[in-house]
Amino acid sequence: MSFDAFPFWVFLLAVWALYLVIPGNGARKALLIAASYLFYASWAPPYLFLLAGVTIASYWAGLYRRRAVLITAVAGLVALLAMAKARLNPLPVGISFYVLQAIAYVVDRYRGHLPEPAGLFDYTLHMSFFPRLTAGPIVRADEFLPQLQKRARVASATVWEALILISFGLFKKLVIADNLARAVDPVFAGLHASGSRILLATYAFAVQIYCDFSGYTDIAIGAARLFGYRLPVNFNWPYLARDPADFWRRWHISLSNWLRDYVYFSLPGLRAKSRAFTYGNLVVTMVICGLWHGARGPYLLWGGYHGVLLAGHHALRSRGGAKTRPAGIRALASILLMQQLAVVGWIFFRLNRLGDLPLYVRGLAAGPFFSGFNAAEWTAVVLLALVAVAHLIQWRIPITPAAIARPWDPWILVVLLLTALATVVLSVPSQRMFLYFRF
Is 296 inside any structural domain?
no
Which has more confidence, 245 or 329? 245
Which has more confidence, 125 or 431? 125
Whether residues 130 and 167 fall in one domain = no
**Lowest model confidence (mean pLDDT) among 112-116, 156-160, 407-411:** 112-116
pLDDT-based confidence at 417, cuts 50/70/90?
very high
Q: What is the mean pLDDT of residues 241-253?
A: 95
Is 306 inside any structural domain?
no
Cβ-contact 285, 264 below 8 angstroms: yes
Whether residues 34 and 123 fall in one domain = yes
**314 labelled catalytic:** no
Residue 24, judged by CB atoms within 10 A of its CB (0-12, 13-18, 19+), counts as exposed
Whether residues 139 and 165 fall in one domain = no
Is 38 inside any structural domain?
yes
Whether residues 226 and 101 fall in one domain = no
Total count of domains within the chain? 2
Is 276 inside any structural domain?
no
Is 82 inside any structural domain?
yes
pLDDT tens per residue across span 25-50: 999 999 999 999 999 999 889 999 99
pLDDT-based confidence at 65, cuts 50/70/90?
confident
pLDDT over 70 at 18, yes or no: yes
**Considering 126, 293, 306, 313, which one is annotated as catalytic?**
293
User: Going by C-beta distance under 8 Å and a sequence separation of 6 or more, which residues neighbour residue 281?
Assistant: 264, 267, 269, 270
Final residue before a domain boundary, out of 127, 148, 169: 148
pLDDT of residue 321: 55
Is 336 inside any structural domain?
no
Final residue before a domain boundary, out of 148, 183, 213: 148
Is 297 inside any structural domain?
no
| 3-state per-residue secondary structure call for the chain | CCCCCHHHHHHHHHHHHHHHHCCCHHHHHHHHHHHHHHHHHCCCHHHHHHHHHHHHHHHHHHCCCCHHHHHHHHHHHHHHHHHHHHHCCCCCCCHHHHHHHHHHHHHHHHHCCCCCCCCHHHHHHHHHCHHHHCCCCCCCHHHHHHHHCCCCCCCHHHHHHHHHHHHHHHHHHHHHHHHHHHHHHHHHHHCCCCHHHHHHHHHHHHHHHHHHHHHHHHHHHHHHHHCCCCCCCCCCCHHHCCCHHHHHHHCCHHHHHHHHHHCHHHCCCCCCCCCHHHHHHHHHHHHHHHHHHCCCHHHHHHHHHHHHHHHHHHHHHHCCCCCCCCCCHHHHHHHHHHHHHHHHHHHHHHCCCHHHHHHHHHHHHCCCCCCCCCHHHHHHHHHHHHHHHHHHHHHHCCHHHHHHCCCCCHHHHHHHHHHHHHHHHHCCCCCCCCHHHHC
Whether residues 57 and 179 fall in one domain = no
pLDDT over 90 at 330, yes or no: no
Whether residues 12 and 138 fall in one domain = yes
pLDDT of residue 365: 84
Final residue before a domain boundary, out of 120, 148, 176: 148
Mean pLDDT of the chain: 91
Whether residues 17 and 137 fall in one domain = yes
What does each C-alpha distance from 337 to 247, 288, 401, 415 come to in angstroms? 12, 25, 26, 32
User: Going by C-beta distance under 8 Å and a sequence separation of 6 or more, which residues neighbour residue 363?
Assistant: 191, 192, 193, 194, 195, 198
pLDDT over 60 at 323, yes or no: no
Residues 200, 184: Cα–Cα separation, whole Å: 8
pLDDT of residue 351: 94
Is 263 inside any structural domain?
no
pTM of the model: 0.93
Whether residues 144 and 170 fall in one domain = no
